[in-house]
């Protein structure tokens, strides 16, 4: 067996349909803002992709803004000038487990950002959210991810939306990890704004989207200088990446049920194997609803960096959490928010699968897991003997 890739939450391999769409788009010469035939051909590719990505979330294509990725989509959404019933959003509330691009607060001043806690399972505390909203006399923007990128825990977005709207606020949902893994409907979820990223669903890196549920919701452009994306995001569109995004979205929508069923079976096989080999291993968020492709696990006494390197040397790619936080010595902010002891959190590794993952690859992971655990146990015994 060649290398095994189990880090789909960081970036999914390019879907064949997305690769074909990108290659075809690279042959289209025109600028999508040009009115001649070549320009119209490029524009057609962009608009076809817009239709496909919007369909993945049940949105109106006219309310979708293409960006360079999920981080830019989040930054575009998080602006005090986003209007809530004609009111300026003077404050930003974010859950403690959000992606770093949301925790950074976009264009809000640090003094105007508040964090909402989560429970030990990593689920946002809705009662705390309501209390914060009740105490506010200003317009509020709330940002809550659909599913966490590290634990896979699915958040109660609909319930949060009801609370936010009851207090006249605006809800932004970072759905980057959820897209293609659970059904998403922007209206059913009650989201006012939703962020997506192409490469998480098998599209090309370099494309993302911010979607509005209601066209009347005003967006303050982050990148200015041209009229692209109906004035919401200046700059010539990345036609090849956008075309690939559309193809990936169409495939993800068509195959959602089948892919989710397969990944659920794979996760059951993976976690049963981990528990059989190491009964004291902790699988975070296992008591609540999670994405079927995500397992965040830790073993007391192990260090994540040691495990990640060990797996890599044995040909298996996993991660120690969010790829956007890799290289940092501090434990995961997500696990810290859940109250996980720092010593245990330092050993957490994330295994994330996708539509192409096989049973044999899961078995290969378990084989390496057992070997590394045995090696760590041997070292520990030697240390005690010394």
Which residues are known to be catalytic?
324
Q: Do 292 and 264 meet the contact criterion of CB atoms below 8 Å apart? A: yes
Q: Which residues of 65-103 are buried (b: 16+ CB within 10 A; e: fewer)?
A: bbbbbbbbbbbbbbbbebbbeeeebbbbbbbbbbbebbb
**Which residue shows structure tokens 């806690």?**
117
Q: Which of 324, 365, 372, 366 is nearest to 347 (CA)?
A: 372
Q: Do 204 and 182 meet the contact criterion of CB atoms below 8 Å apart? A: no
DSSP 312-349: HHTTEE-BSS-GGGTT--SPPHHHHHTT--HHHHTT-E
Q: Do 81 and 88 meet the contact criterion of CB atoms below 8 Å apart? A: yes
Q: How many CB atoms lie within 10 A of CB 136?
A: 16
Q: Do 282 and 344 meet the contact criterion of CB atoms below 8 Å apart? A: yes
Beta-bridge partner residues of 196: 209
SS3 content of the chain, % helix, strand, coil (to 5): 45, 15, 40
Q: Which of 55, 31, 62, 60 is nearest to 45 (CA)?
A: 31
Classify 115 as helix, strand or coil: strand
Q: Which of 323, 343, 321 is nearest to 334 (CA)?
A: 321
Backbone angles phi, psi at 154, to 5 degrees: -85, 130
Classify 294 as helix, strand or coil: strand
Q: Which helix (H) or strand (E) holds 211?
A: strand 208-212
| DSSP character at residue 14 | P
Q: Do 170 and 142 meet the contact criterion of CB atoms below 8 Å apart? A: yes
Q: Do 7 and 318 meet the contact criterion of CB atoms below 8 Å apart? A: yes
């Amino acid at each position: 067996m060649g290398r095994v890739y189990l880090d789909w939450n960081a970036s999914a391999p390019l879907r064949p349909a997305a690769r074909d769409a990108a290659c075809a788009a690279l042959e289209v010469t025109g600028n999508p803002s040009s009115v001649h035939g070549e320009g119209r051909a490029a524009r057609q590719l962009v608009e076809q992709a817009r239709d496909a990505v919007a369909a993945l979330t049940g949105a109106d294509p006219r309310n979708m803004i293409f960006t360079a990725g999920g981080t830019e989509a989040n930054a575009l959404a998080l602006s005090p000038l986003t209007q809530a019933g004609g009111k300026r959003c003077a404050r930003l509330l974010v859950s403690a487990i959000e992606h770093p691009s949301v925790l950074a607060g976009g264009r809000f001043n640090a003094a105007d950002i508040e964090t909402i806690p989560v429970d030990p399972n990593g689920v946002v505390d809705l009662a705390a959210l309501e209390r914060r909203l009740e105490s506010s006399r200003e317009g509020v923007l709330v940002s809550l991810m659909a599913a966490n990128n590290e634990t896979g825990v699915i958040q109660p977005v609909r319930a949060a939306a009801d609370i936010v709207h009851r207090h006249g606020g605006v809800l932004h949902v970072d759905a980057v990890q959820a897209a293609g893994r659970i059904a998403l409907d922007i209206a059913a979820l009650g989201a006012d704004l939703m962020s997506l990223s192409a490469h998480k669903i098998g599209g090309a890196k370099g494309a993302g989207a911010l979607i509005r549920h209601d066209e009347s919701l005003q967006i303050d452009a982050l990148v200015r200088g041209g009229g692209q994306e109906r004035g919401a995001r200046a700059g010539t569109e990345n036609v090849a990446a956008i075309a690939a995004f559309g193809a990936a979205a169409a495939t993800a929508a068509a195959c959602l049920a089948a892919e989710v069923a397969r990944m659920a079976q794979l996760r059951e096989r993976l976690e049963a194997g981990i528990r059989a080999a190491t009964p004291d291993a902790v699988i975070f968020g296992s008591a609540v609803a999670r994405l079927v492709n995500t397992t965040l696990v830790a073993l007391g006494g192990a260090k994540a960096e040691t495990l990640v390197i060990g797996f890599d040397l044995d040909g298996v790619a996993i991660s120690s959490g969010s790829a956007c936080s890799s290289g940092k010595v501090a434990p995961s902010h997500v696990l810290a928010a859940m109250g996980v002891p720092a010593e245990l959190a330092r050993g957490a590794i994330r295994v994330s699968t996708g539509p192409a993952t096989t049973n044999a690859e899961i078995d290969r992971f378990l084989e390496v897991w057992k070997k590394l655990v045995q090696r760590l146990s041997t070292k520990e015994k030697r240390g005690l003997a010394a």
